[in-house]
Amino acid sequence: MNSTLRMVKSFTIEPEINDYVASTKGSRSASERVNELLKRAMLEEQYERLGGEAAAFFADADKGRSGAKAFQKGDELCGMGGRAHAPILGPDLVRRRHQVVFR
């Protein structure tokens, strides 16, 4: 049993909810089972809200990537096909069509 402080509250519930609690509580009290179900419902709502926030965040982040997307599209057109790019070329390196040659 949870040792946290509990408040006595009175709520009305639908008969099918009461039947469900009674049939799934096992050896626990109905109050403990209701608290467990409510905590799970709270977490589910939080996950749904966070999912919405994440979708909105990535939608906004995706809007600001037009330059990166153009670069990726150009990369695909050049035949790199999304493969990793060669390192930044220094004075002792020459780039020839998709390979780096050391001088």
| pLDDT for 43 | 95
pTM value surpassing 0.85: no
| pLDDT for 54 | 87
- Which residues in the chain come in under a pLDDT of 70? 1-3, 61-103
Please tell me the chain's helix, strand, coil percentages from 3-state DSSP, rounded to the nearest 5: 55, 10, 40
| pLDDT for 77 | 63
| pLDDT for 103 | 47
